């Protein structure tokens, strides 16, 4: 089984978000970067499938040189080799085009990634890659089993799940509980240092969306505390002040 896993390089989930340069740049001061949490699920499942069926896992990231520690972490978790497409990932279509261009020649049986990145939350790249390659793309996939040339999946839908069968190759945007996150062990970390990480130039692509600037949501007002013995007051406030009930 030949598996491609696409990962994002994103601020740690607990990061405080702020911007500089007149709200046009993300302020990365003191921010720790991680593999996108949904991508981590995709990677963990890919490594499990490889362990069961043999084959290889390639990780791919569209990003500039600063993403290499994140890519090395994916290698430490169990990917065999890595590709970094040397470009700033500023538009979903641009990223999808890079991934599709790499995957076209790769003969992958499946392309896994997270359902969305936790920075831009677009949830578009898997679908675009599927369309560019003429493959089915399913998301958000929470269960993935391979039987022969068929993948059996569960996809989360609003208020439930849908069961799916599809022939390989396919693209999937993954989420929990598809697998347990894997934590790199010492052997993984050592071997990651010598695994191949190929840097390639991006292919030409338009960027149909352009970021103008960022905004922060309005600050929250103070919390009104209500005595536990006086729930009536809360009902009053919800009815007359907030007008939500």
Partner 1 sequence: MSVLVFIESAEGEIKKSSLEAVSYGAAVAANEGTSATAIAFGSIDEAKLKEVGKAGATKVLHVNDDRLDKGVIQAYANALTQAVEKEGAKVLVLAKSSLGDPVAARVAVKTNAALASNVAELPDTSSGFKVKRSIYTGKAFAMVELKADVKIIAIKKNAVEVKEDGGDATVETFSPELSDADFGVQITGEERQTGEILLPEADLVVSGGRGLKGPENWGMIEDLARALGAATGCSKPVSDMDWRPHHEHVGQTGVKVSPTLYVAVGISGAIQHLAGVNSSKYIVVINKDPEAPFFKAADYGIVGDAFEVVPKLTEAIKARK
Ligand X SMILES: Cc1cc2nc3c(=O)[nH]c(=O)nc-3n(C[C@H](O)[C@H](O)[C@H](O)COP(=O)(O)OP(=O)(O)OC[C@H]3O[C@@H](n4cnc5c(N)ncnc54)[C@H](O)[C@@H]3O)c2cc1C
| Residue with tokens 């996809």, as numbered in its chain | 155
Question: How far apart, in whole angstroms, are the C-alpha atoms of residue 44 and residue 159?
Answer: 25
- Beta pairing partners, 84: 61, 199
**HSE, side-chain direction, 13 A CA sphere, residue 165:** 4
Site for partner 1 in 171-230 (CB under 8 A): 173, 175-177, 206-217, 220-221, 223-228
Note whether 7 and 74 are within 8 A (CB).
Answer: yes
Identify which of residues 37 and 123 has a Cβ nearer to ligand X in the complex: 37
Question: How far apart, in whole angstroms, are the C-alpha atoms of residue 5 and residue 205?
Answer: 21
Note whether 184 and 192 are within 8 A (CB).
Answer: yes
Closest approach of partner 1 to the CB of residue 61, in Å: 19
**Site track 49-68 with partner 1 (rule: CB under 8 A), x = hit:** --------------------
Closest approach of ligand X to the CB of residue 14, in Å: 8
Three-state DSSP class for 196?
coil
Question: How far apart, in whole angstroms, are the C-alpha atoms of residue 72 and residue 14?
Answer: 22
Question: How far apart, in whole angstroms, are the C-alpha atoms of residue 85 and residue 13?
Answer: 24
Closest approach of ligand X to the CB of residue 176, in Å: 9
Radius of gyration of the chain (CA): 21
Q: Candidates 47-55, 62-70, 161-169, 184-192: pick the segment binding partner 1 (CB under 8 A).
A: 161-169
| Of the candidate residues 14, 22, 29, 194, the single one contacting partner 1 (CB under 8 A) | 14
Closest approach of partner 1 to the CB of residue 27, in Å: 11
Site for partner 1 in 94-123 (CB under 8 A): 96, 115-116, 118-123
Question: How far apart, in whole angstroms, are the C-alpha atoms of residue 62 and residue 138?
Answer: 21
Identify which of residues 76 and 99 has a Cβ nearer to ligand X in the complex: 76
Closest approach of partner 1 to the CB of residue 114, in Å: 10
Least Cα distance to 174 among 131, 110, 98 occurs for 110
* From ligand X, partner 1, none, interface partner of 162 (C-beta below 5 to 8 A by class): partner 1
* From partner 1, ligand X, none, interface partner of 29 (C-beta below 5 to 8 A by class): none
| Of the candidate residues 2, 11, 18, 37, the single one contacting ligand X (CB under 6 A) | 37
Q: Are strands 137-147 and 150-157 parallel, antiparallel or unpaired?
A: antiparallel
| Of the candidate residues 166, 168, 189, 200, the single one contacting partner 1 (CB under 8 A) | 166
Identify which of residues 41 and 94 has a Cβ nearer to ligand X in the complex: 41
11 binds ligand X (CB under 6 A): no
Least Cα distance to 234 among 242, 74, 6 occurs for 242
Binding site for ligand X (CB under 6 A): 13, 37
């Amino acid at each position: 089984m030949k598996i491609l896993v696409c990962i994002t390089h994103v601020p740690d989930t607990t990061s405080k978000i702020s911007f500089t340069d007149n709200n046009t740049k993300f302020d990365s001061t003191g921010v720790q970067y991680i593999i996108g949490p949904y991508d981590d699920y995709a990677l963990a499942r890919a490594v499990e499938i490889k362990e069961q069926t043999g084959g290889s896992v390639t990780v791919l990231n569209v990003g500039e040189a600063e993403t290499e520690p994140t890519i090395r972490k994916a290698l430490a978790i169990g990917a065999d080799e890595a590709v970094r497409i040397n470009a700033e990932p500023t538009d979903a279509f641009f990223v999808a085009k890079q991934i599709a261009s790499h995957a076209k020649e790769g003969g992958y049986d499946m392309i896994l990634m997270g359902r969305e990145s936790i920075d831009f939350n677009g949830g578009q790249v898997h679908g675009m890659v599927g369309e560019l390659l003429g493959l089915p793309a399913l998301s958000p996939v929470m269960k993935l089993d391979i039987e022969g040339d068929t993948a059996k999946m569960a996809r989360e839908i609003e208020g439930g799940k849908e069961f799916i069968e599809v022939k390989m190759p396919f693209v999937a945007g993954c989420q929990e509980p598809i697998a347990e996150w894997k934590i790199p062990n010492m052997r993984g970390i050592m071997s990651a240092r010598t695994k191949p990480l190929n840097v390639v130039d991006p292919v030409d692509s338009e960027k149909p969306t352009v970021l103008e600037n960022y905004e922060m949501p309005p600050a929250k007002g103070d919390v009104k505390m209500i005595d536990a013995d006086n729930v009536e007051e809360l009902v009053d406030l919800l009815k007359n002040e907030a007008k939500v009930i």
